[in-house]
Amino acid sequence: MTLNIRNEQGTAIVSALLILLLLTFVALTATDTTMNEKAMIRSEAVFERNFSLAESASLEGLQKIASKNNDDIEDLLPKRMSGTSENKDLLVGSDSDEMEDIFDVLDDNSDGVIDKNDIASFEISKLGKETYRTAMMLPIANGDSLSLTTAKSRLYRYNTFGLSEDNGGKSLILIGYKRRIDH
């Protein structure tokens, strides 16, 4: 039997090129999917790291306030704090417990974002190069113990904030704390 090569009109070559084109498209799609998944995993790792650093900075500020004896009242109340106070760079005061007012106190440069540029409100933490902390003393909320009486309440509220902006990510953590101070 003899093969008649003259009748072939290039269908095998066209078929091979179409299969090669299809395989190239599949390979490019798989590469793009892998790159996107790697970016998502990296973003999640950055978020987890920043979240942990911000939470640790907030707890660090809380611990700094909680470790003071009630006798060291100048380190616990912003209005009574001296220039030598251990908490002078940590503790700020607010006349309102509304979150938007707290935001305004922390947003030193009034750009609408709480970040490392608001450094006057934040003390640098030892946890990371882009990690900061602050604490805010707030008035007693209505309904809290002794807030409805005419006697001066000895219950004080603090919010501690931790901020981390490491590796291009950003996390801000708020932890509330109440403390009774005798004075």
- With a cut of 60, say whether residue 146 has pLDDT above it: no
Checking if the pLDDT of 17 tops 90, the result is yes
Please tell me the distance from the alpha carbon of residue 81 to that of residue 84, in angstroms, as a whole number: 8
Sign of CA dihedral 66, 84, 105, 169: negative
Over 70: is that where the pLDDT of 4 sits? Answer: no
Helices (H), 94-182: 99-106
Q: In whole angstroms, what is the distance from residue 19 CA to residue 15 CA?
A: 6
With CA atoms as reference, report the closest residue to 103 among 87, 85, 88, 115: 115
Task: Determine the average pLDDT of the residues in 129-154.
Answer: 68
Residue 93 tokens, joined = 């005061």
Query: Measured between alpha carbons, how far is 85 from 176 in angstroms, rounded to an integer?
Result: 22
pLDDT of residue 51: 93
Task: Give the closest residue to 105 by CA, choosing from 117, 116, 120.
Answer: 120
Q: Looking at the predicted structure, is the pLDDT value of residue 155 above 70? A: yes
Phi, psi at 158, each rounded to 5°: -130, 140
Q: Which residue has the higher pLDDT, 111 or 47?
A: 47
- What span, in angstroms and rounded, lies between the C-alpha atoms of 115 and 132? 9
Q: Pinpoint the alpha helices (H) of 67-154.
A: 99-106
Q: Is the pLDDT of residue 147 over 80?
A: no
135 strand-pairing partners: 91, 160
Share of the chain above pLDDT 70, in %: 77
Domain positions in the chain: 13-180
* Cβ–Cβ < 8 Å for 44, 158: no
Q: Which residue has the higher pLDDT, 181 or 24?
A: 24
Rounded to two decimals, the pTM is 0.69
Q: Does the structure show a pLDDT above 60 at 150?
A: no
pLDDT digit string, tens, across residues 51-85: 999 999 999 988 888 888 877 777 777 766 666 77
* Pairing assessment for the beta strands 155-164 and 123-124 based on DSSP bridges: unpaired
Compare 102 and 139 and report the one with higher pLDDT.
102
- Supply the mean pLDDT for the chain: 80
